[in-house]
Amino acid sequence: MIKAKFHKRTFHFKKPSGTSRGILTEKHAWFIEVWEENTPAVVGIGECSIIPDLSPDFIDFESYEDKLTEVCANLSTELQGWPSILFGVECALLDLKNGGKRIYFENAFSRGEQKIPINGLIWMGSEEFMQEQIEEKIAAGFSVIKMKIGAIYFDTELKILKSIREKFSKEKLTLRVDANGAFSPEEALNKLQKLANLAIHSIEQPIKKGQYLAMNQLCKRSPLDIALDEELIGINSTEEKTKLLDSIQPPFIILKPSLHGGISGCKEWIELAEERGIDWWMTSALESNIGLNAICQFVGEYDISLPQGLGTGALYTDNIESDLVVENGMIFRKKLF
């Protein structure tokens, strides 16, 4: 019989990190541990990671921990509407199945034989702060940079992007931007045109989710490719996913297991997207190194062609020790290299 328990941990950002939902200084996570009653020394661990005001299954600490208590008493509890907890349970059980060694998928990445290309993430903030981050990422060898926009003046953000592009051509440096729904449908196309003039690779979620017709029109008319992110949150059934993809017809979708249905939900998103010729990449929801390692191994199950959004392991002063390494825009497990 499998037993389970959970514990909470709070991680602290090295620098306050700006998003469209405010400044982040700390990150809460819950870790589910599972073990066979007759072999208690072998423990599988999975991370339940939430982002307040974004995670569909987090309202407050009390109700979230009530659900975790219910789940630990019965691991077959229905979790379709609880993607962060589902991801934690799926990972814990996979880890247990593979001997409790933080091996979630047996593949080239988990064996230390594969490096995954990733983008360098630029957090929102003052112009000086964003320029400083960009210089750090380029110096660290990143060839793909993702910049969050929509928090300061758009003209200032354009100025920053233009200054990058003047130094680095699109052949040398790929630029992605993430608007987190910051644009109105009326202004979006004009702003996308200005971004396209700077050879931006793609923009994530230019307008708020739920506006299928407006997003479909943007995808058709936009001079740069659109990737859906928040749009996928809370869309759980196969029918809902099919309707969204067929209604909007985006070039890309971006998947976060903690937000988009855990491992099983993301597998279905990938299958439906690929059937429609829609490409994808995966990113973390600011997990600690436990969750990040699991997501990297999950990505290792696929023959990927695009850089992923998995460079978040160095965010915290008190992260869990890990064998993950980021070098020259690649993430890999160091112990077998």
Which residues does the annotation mark as catalytic?
148, 256
**CA separation for the pair 327, 318 (Å, rounded):** 20
What does the DSSP 8-state code read for residue 66? H
Whether 266 contacts 216, CB under 8 Å: no
E strand or H helix at 208, and its extent? Answer: none
Of 168, 154, 169, 187, the C-alpha closest to 177 is 154
**CA separation for the pair 259, 228 (Å, rounded):** 13
Cβ within 8 Å of residue 159, ≥6 positions away = 127
Amino acid type, 223:
P
Beta strands in 65-179 (DSSP E): 116-117, 120-122, 144-148, 174-178
